[in-house]
């Protein structure tokens, strides 16, 4: 499929039902508005995935921007091989996340988000404590999962990917992803039911 001409590209960027394939091909041809649309489609999912894995909003935002910068730099080499653009994007996110976590283990620091008070919730310390304990309980429960289960949970629920997309990223079958998700959710349910409320 050839790239759409300039007039069609302008119309394509405004169309709601434009496919990723058309947007990517036009972005590869130099249409920055098309890449902007791809960014708008997937930035929330990529950020959620990274935020879930990192646990720090500022670092997740920075890493999400790096994902899209890397995608823009590599876009010229992207080929349609049956792998959706979204899966390719999440593969970039996963690889950058692994690199980030390796670097982070070499240096320790307190996240700025945790060090600064959240002025929005200062009025109700009880709600703030309940939310923090719930979040910590969930993070602790997820940390107890196997690496594959953690990856499925973060791709499916934080990243919003389908079973097929998660399977492509992980190099597994859809059935394996479903089985990993089922086992992970059962494990989380058992662990979270033991958490005192």
What residues does each domain of the chain span? Answer: 1-116, 124-197
To 10 degrees, the CA torsion angle through 133, 137, 138, 139?
100
CA distance 79 to 85: 9
Per-residue pLDDT reduced to its tens digit, 43-59: 999 999 898 888 888 99
Question: Which band of pLDDT confidence, cut at 50, 70 and 90, is reported for residue 148?
Answer: confident
Structure tokens at 97: 């996340």
In the predicted model, is pLDDT for residue 82 greater than 70?
yes
For 2-13, b/e burial (b = at least 16 CB within 10 A) is ebbeeeebeebb
Task: Please name the fold of domain 124-197.
Answer: Arc Repressor Mutant, subunit A (1.10.10)
Question: Which band of pLDDT confidence, cut at 50, 70 and 90, is reported for residue 158?
Answer: confident
* Contact of 154 with 181, CB cutoff 8 Å: no
Per-residue pLDDT reduced to its tens digit, 90-115: 999 999 998 998 887 775 555 545 54
Please give the pLDDT value at position 96. Answer: 93
pTM: 0.62
Look at residue 113 and give its three-state secondary structure.
helix
CATH of domain 1-116: 1.10.1740.10
């Amino acid at each position: 499929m050839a790239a759409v001409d300039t007039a069609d590209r302008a119309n394509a960027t405004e169309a709601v039902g434009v496919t990723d394939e058309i947007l990517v091909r036009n972005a590869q041809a130099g249409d920055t508005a098309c890449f902007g649309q791809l960014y708008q489609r997937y930035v929330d999912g990529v950020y959620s995935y990274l935020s879930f894995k990192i646990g720090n909003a500022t670092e997740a935002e920075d890493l999400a921007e790096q994902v899209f910068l890397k995608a823009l730099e590599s876009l010229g080499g992207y080929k349609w091989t049956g792998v959706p653009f979204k899966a390719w994007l999440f593969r970039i996110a996963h690889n950058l996340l692994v690199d980030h976590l390796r670097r982070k283990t070499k240096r320790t620091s307190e996240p700025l988000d945790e060090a600064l008070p959240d002025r929005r919730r200062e009025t109700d310390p009880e709600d703030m404590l309940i939310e923090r304990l719930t979040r910590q309980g969930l993070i602790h429960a997820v940390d107890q999962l196997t690496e594959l289960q953690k990856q499925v949970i973060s791709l499916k629920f934080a990243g919003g990917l389908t079973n097929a997309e998660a399977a492509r990223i992980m190099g597994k079958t859809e059935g394996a992803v479903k089985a990993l998700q089922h086992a992970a959710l059962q494990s989380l349910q058992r662990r979270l039911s033991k958490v005192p409320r």
